[in-house]
Structure 1
Amino acid sequence: MRRFWWLWVIGGVVVLAVAAVIADVAFRSYAQSEAAAQIEQQLPEAVEGEVSVSIGGGSFLLQLITGEFAEVTLDAPELSVNGVPLAAHAVATGVPTDLTKPVQSIRATASIDQDAVNGIVDIPGDSELVLGDGEVSYEGTISLFGFSLGYQVSGIVAAQGDSVTIEPTTASLTQGAGNLDIDLDQLLGSLADDPIGVCVAQYLPAGAEVESLEITPGRATAVLTADDFVVSEDSLRTLGSC
């Protein structure tokens, strides 16, 4: 039996390794659930929905000991912000276990459908935005010499900081021109010269910015960023202002 003492040692090491893995998984799972619950409790009053948390990186316990998680992912596919439904996904890197300290970097995507976009974008008249492939369009009417003229404007969307701007590129009359003796080029040019600005700061925590905005048929997806952001109840409940 003495000749096989090393088998007992190896067996003991294996058991300890398995136990360590199980403990690591268990603590990670518990921490993820607790983090999700705390984040939901700290959401601003205007924000509702469930959040799931996934802690990445290597050993959870080792990261806990060092005081920082390499990567934390948050998913909220059915959030509501000021009544506007959106799907959100965020990846945070350099997340301290002490949340009074700032997170190194947060990069998130937020996606909303066409109806939600029209709920926050104010288009002149009673028109609504139509989201196309890389561009948007909207229709409206203008009154000229007692006649009602219908028009359509197409444009591209630019995002920077806390604002989104629709830059018109083309305009055309859709109805009512008839035999009116008017300078259509000048009229349409004036329609295409008026950009529409939207402040989105009121929907974002103070310090978060819009990096880019992608327009696809029926949907808009924004990439949001925040650096050195303290994830606390105050910071999550403090939205930006316009």
Structure 2
Amino acid sequence: MTAAPVLPAAPKVRRRWIGWAIAGGVLLVLIVVGLFVGEAAARAYATERIHDELVTAFELDADHPTDIDLGGGSLLLQAASGTVDGVDVAIDDVPLGDLTGDITLAATGVPIDTTQPAETIAATATLDEDDVASLRDYLSGIQLDSITLGDGVIDVSATVRALFLTVPVSAAIEPTAQDGQLVFSPESVTVNGSVVSVDQLLAGPLANVASGFLGAQTFCVAQYLPAAITLDGVSVSTDELELSFSGENVALGGADLSTKGTCG
């Protein structure tokens, strides 16, 4: 009687392949998790460093909220090249002397070594009508009754006394940027409901009062901001007054942001 053939055992190669596949899958998961953890740690570290520099630059409390966006893409890969593509920052309620404004800042080409300069920095400071009202002592040389924002101008009104008369006057004041300061110059004047020129008002019976009301006033912004960024312009809408700044070859760490500016 012929013995039944003995069947060969299942190949161990297949089992070994399955084992390697499982091990490879686990390793891949660990690598991906490690990259995510490393990316998160890198972003947390960079955010903390930038926050600390901004707190110093704008003389804020250590726990003052800052919204810092390091952009998309892998920060680790950018860091490997030595430069982060871009950093966007938003800080509300930043004290600027007599003012309080909301500041946004955008930097491009930011080195990992924060003592090295970024390619460009652009910033804006936005003031609402209440903030602008804090500038009343710089808008006119006399006491103002009201301050409102208009289309490209700041509208102010006052009541002046001439002889035995009380006369309502108002002016549309145009703000401009010059040598780190805001310059407020009357663009048009209305006296008792009638529009008059500045020259007419200064030559009339209200000349003594008008000279204080209409004289150009200045407010030095640069003294409250880093010297490395320059006041470029100012715009006014019915909602807000916006100051624009820029800087080139400015380092986000060190003296570039910690040293305050001066007005020319």
Q: TM-score range by the shorter chain?
A: 0.7 to 0.9
Is the contact between residue 67 and residue 96 of structure 1 (CA under 8 Å) also seen in structure 2?
Answer: yes
CA root-mean-square deviation: 3.3
Is the contact between residue 39 and residue 76 of structure 2 (CA under 8 Å) also seen in structure 1?
Answer: no
Greater displacement, 141-150 / 30-39: 141-150
Q: Does 2:190 align with 1:172?
A: yes
Q: CA deviation at 1:59?
A: 1.5
3-state SS of paired residue (1:129) = strand
Greater displacement, 206-215 / 5-14: 5-14
Residue-pair matches, total: 235
Letter in 1 for 2:158: G
The answer for the alignment partner of 2:227 in structure 1 is 206
1:92 to 107, 117, 121: 107
2:252 to 222, 231, 238: 231
The answer for the alignment partner of 1:42 in structure 2 is 56
Is the contact between residue 130 and residue 218 of structure 1 (CA under 8 Å) also seen in structure 2?
Answer: no
Is the contact between residue 57 and residue 259 of structure 2 (CA under 8 Å) also seen in structure 1?
Answer: no
Is the contact between residue 35 and residue 53 of structure 1 (CA under 8 Å) also seen in structure 2?
Answer: no
Q: Does 2:39 align with 1:22?
A: no
Q: Residues of 1 paired with 2:110 and 2:81: CA distance?
A: 11
The answer for the alignment partner of 1:155 in structure 2 is 173
Greater Rg by CA: 2
Is the contact between residue 120 and residue 250 of structure 2 (CA under 8 Å) also seen in structure 1?
Answer: yes
Q: Residues of 1 paired with 2:172 and 2:49: CA distance?
A: 44
Q: Residues of 2 paired with 1:69 and 1:171: CA distance?
A: 51
Show structure 1 runs of 5+ residues with no match. 178-182
3-state SS of paired residue (2:100) = strand
Q: Residues of 1 paired with 2:95 and 2:214: CA distance?
A: 34
The answer for the alignment partner of 1:133 in structure 2 is 151
Is the contact between residue 96 and residue 221 of structure 2 (CA under 8 Å) also seen in structure 1?
Answer: no
Q: Residues of 2 paired with 1:16 and 1:110: CA distance?
A: 45
Q: CA deviation at 1:74?
A: 1.4
Greater displacement, 210-219 / 66-75: 210-219
3-state SS of paired residue (2:134) = helix
Question: In structure 2, do the counterparts of structure 1 residues 36 and 5 end up closer, same or farther at CA, with 3 Å as the change threshold?
Answer: same
Q: CA deviation at 1:3?
A: 7.2
Greater displacement, 142-151 / 114-123: 142-151
Percent identity (aligned): 24
CA offsets, 1:30-74, max 9 Å, x none? 2244224422552354x4433232212532111212211110111
Q: Residues of 2 paired with 1:3 and 1:44: CA distance?
A: 61
Greater displacement, 7-16 / 58-67: 7-16
Normalised by the length of structure 2, the TM-score is 0.73
Q: Does 2:216 align with 1:195?
A: yes
Letter in 2 for 1:124: G
CA offsets, 1:156-197, max 9 Å, x none? 33234512223322111138x9xxxxx997117885974333
Normalised by the length of structure 1, the TM-score is 0.79
2:66 to 21, 46, 51: 51
What are the residue-to-residue correspondences of 1:69-88 with 2, within 5 Å? 69-82=84-97, 84-88=99-103
Show structure 2 runs of 5+ residues with no match. 1-13
The answer for the alignment partner of 1:241 in structure 2 is 262
Question: In structure 2, do the counterparts of structure 1 residues 197 and 81 end up closer, same or farther at CA, with 3 Å as the change threshold?
Answer: closer
Question: In structure 2, do the counterparts of structure 1 residues 24 and 188 end up closer, same or farther at CA, with 3 Å as the change threshold?
Answer: farther
The answer for the alignment partner of 2:45 in structure 1 is 31
Greater displacement, 6-15 / 152-161: 6-15
The answer for the alignment partner of 1:180 in structure 2 is none
Question: In structure 2, do the counterparts of structure 1 residues 236 and 207 end up closer, same or farther at CA, with 3 Å as the change threshold?
Answer: closer
